[in-house]
Amino acid sequence: MYSMKETCEKVGLSYETLKFYCNEGLIPNVKRDKNNYRVFDDNNINWINSLSCLKKCGMSINDMKKYLALCLKGQETIPERKIMLEAQHKILINKINELQECVNFINWKQNFYDDVLSGKTEYYSYLIDTSNPK
């Protein structure tokens, strides 16, 4: 069994975040020790890691709660869970594509600047008139 602090260290969450997840009911079956402090087992740790991943994927707290509710109902809800995950997957793929466009732009701009600095390309700007250099 792990204390809140140990669990935070294992899963890479702040104490406040873990407490929030507990208070929101996102971590079911958390046990309490003799002093009424939360203690976590390996199943809790694995679930918290899953929650962290869902959060990183952009899933809202409400959707995480829906997903948890489905998980708690058992195997028969797998098709519904797959639909939720597929929707999140599509969002992530779109974000990846957007980020790749940004990376491509920065690469292009860096190459442009290198070419200008090396004298290979004449400088131009969309913001200022560069036709009459000072």
3-class SS string, the chain: CECHHHHHHHHCCCHHHHHHHHHCCCCCCCEECCCCCEEECHHHHHHHHHHHHHHHCCCCHHHHHHHHHHHHHCHHHHHHHHHHHHHHHHHHHHHHHHHHHHHHHHHHHHHHHHHHHHCCCCCCCCCCCCCCCC
Residue listed under structure tokens 């600095």: 117
pLDDT score at 95: 95
Tens of pLDDT, residue by residue over 30-52, are 999 999 999 999 999 999 999 99
Output the pLDDT for position 131.
80
Q: Residue 132 pLDDT more than 80?
A: no
End-to-end CA, the chain: 72
Q: Are 112 and 123 in contact (CB under 8 A)?
A: no
**Digit-coded pLDDT (tens) for 93-115:** 999 999 999 999 999 999 999 99
pTM of the model: 0.77
All structural domains of the chain:
4-73 (1.10.1660.10)
Asked if pLDDT for residue 133 goes beyond 90, the answer is no
In order of 26, 69, 108, the CA distances from 96 in angstroms are 28, 29, 18
Q: Phi, psi (5° rounding) for residue 129?
A: -75, 115
Token representation of residue 31: 């046990």
Task: Answer whether residue 134 shows pLDDT above 80.
Answer: no
Q: How do residues 47-97 score in pLDDT, each as one tens digit?
A: 999 999 999 999 999 999 999 999 999 999 999 999 999 999 999 999 999
Token readout for 67 is 């997903």
